Amino acid sequence: MIKKTILVTGGSGLVGSAFKSISTHDNLKYNLKYNFIFLSSSECDLTDYNQTLAYFKLAKPNFIIHLAANVGGLFKNMCQPVDMLEKNVLINLNVLKAAHAVSVEKLIACLSTCIFPDKPFFDKPLIETDLHLGPPHESNSAYAYAKRLLETQCAAYQKQYGDKFICVVPTNIYGPEDNFNLDDAHVIPALIHKCYIAKQNNEYFTISGSGKPLRQFIYSIDLALAIMLVLEDYKEMSSIIIAPDETSEVSISYVAKLIAKEFDYEHMIKFDESKSDGQYKKTVSNNKFKELFNNFYFTEIEEGIKSTIKWFLLKYPNIRK
């Protein structure tokens, strides 16, 4: 059997690394079917179209899983809006244009639930068609509009050329191989690293904000497996949310306590309410995904954090930080 090739952009990032985990030689489900190519920014500058096209022509992918993005936590989004907008727009523009040029069979592009409208949706979970019905939260508007444009771009290629360019919309992702930088990381890796340092220095584990905002989290390995289901079995052309159930939504405070418990440091937590909380909640519905893949198992947050911290401690100090 001739294997088809899957090119994963952002191959050294959090979700790219999760794809490496599920595509290892002993995972016969995917290893026998595909050759995986993991593209990192050190190999190709996706903000440069000529480089992107040249790489795609050389790789000759049948499928592309587009994960590459300029990402970060709340404070990176607030402090670097120009970079968050322009770099993401350039990356997405070039990847889709080059994917069309080399005639890929299917492209899966990764969005984020943080790009949904901020208001007035607190009375119901968000669904796929809500994406453009209002402005995003001001704290990440530049990143959000760049990602919304990616969905619009995918739809445009569908309409004009019939390309199978589809968007998945995961909720907050975490797991091994994450970026644990204290300034730029997303909430879970930042809190893990902060708690580790606090314990090393015998200081308070200080959480920025009140801890009250609510989030749904998805373990990175779960997301990689779910994207493979979408790649192989999802026949629609519209976007699809990938997230655990609404009942999995937890507060930042709860997450911080889970992390502190793993470090045996629960007695040293405090909250700095002078810092911004960001968006209070952004609950999404996974009904569409569940109807199609009703047997899919999402890792519980307690189990996922335990595994992530175990990896963090094993790999420290050689983590991204």
To which residue do tokens 């970060």 refer?
72
Question: 114 or 6: which carries more pLDDT confidence?
Answer: 6
SS3 content of the chain, % helix, strand, coil (to 5): 45, 15, 40
To which residue do tokens 């995003």 refer?
136
- Residue 98 predicted with pLDDT over 60: yes
To which residue do tokens 């968006």 refer?
279
CATH of the domain at 191: 3.40.50.720
Report the pLDDT averaged over residues 289-300. 96
- The answer to whether residue 143 is catalytic is yes
DSSP state of 133: S
Determine what percent of the chain is predicted with pLDDT higher than 90: 77
Q: Which among 26, 16, 238 has a CA at the least distance from the CA of 132? A: 238
Give 215-254 pLDDT, tens digit per residue: 999 999 999 999 999 999 999 999 999 999 988 999 999 9
Distance CA 293, CA 230 (A): 9
pLDDT confidence band for 276 (50 / 70 / 90): confident
To which residue do tokens 């794809």 refer?
19
Q: Is residue 251 part of a domain?
A: yes
**Domain interval for residue 131:** 4-315
Residue 165, pLDDT score = 98
- Count of H helices and E strands in the chain? 11, 12
Residue 73, pLDDT score = 67
82 within 8 A of 25, measured Cβ to Cβ: no
Q: Is residue 321 part of a domain?
A: no
Q: Which among 21, 39, 38 has a CA at the least distance from the CA of 30? A: 21
- Residue 123 predicted with pLDDT over 90: no
DSSP state of 134: S
Q: Is residue 155 part of a domain?
A: yes
Number of domains in the chain: 1
Report the pLDDT averaged over residues 158-186. 93
Give 50-88 pLDDT, tens digit per residue: 999 999 999 999 999 999 998 776 667 678 889 889 999
Q: Is residue 303 part of a domain?
A: yes
DSSP state of 166: E
Q: Is residue 320 part of a domain?
A: no
Q: How many CB atoms lie within 10 A of CB 109?
A: 26
Catalytic residue among 143, 145, 196, 234: 143
188 within 8 A of 220, measured Cβ to Cβ: no
pTM of the entire predicted model: 0.94
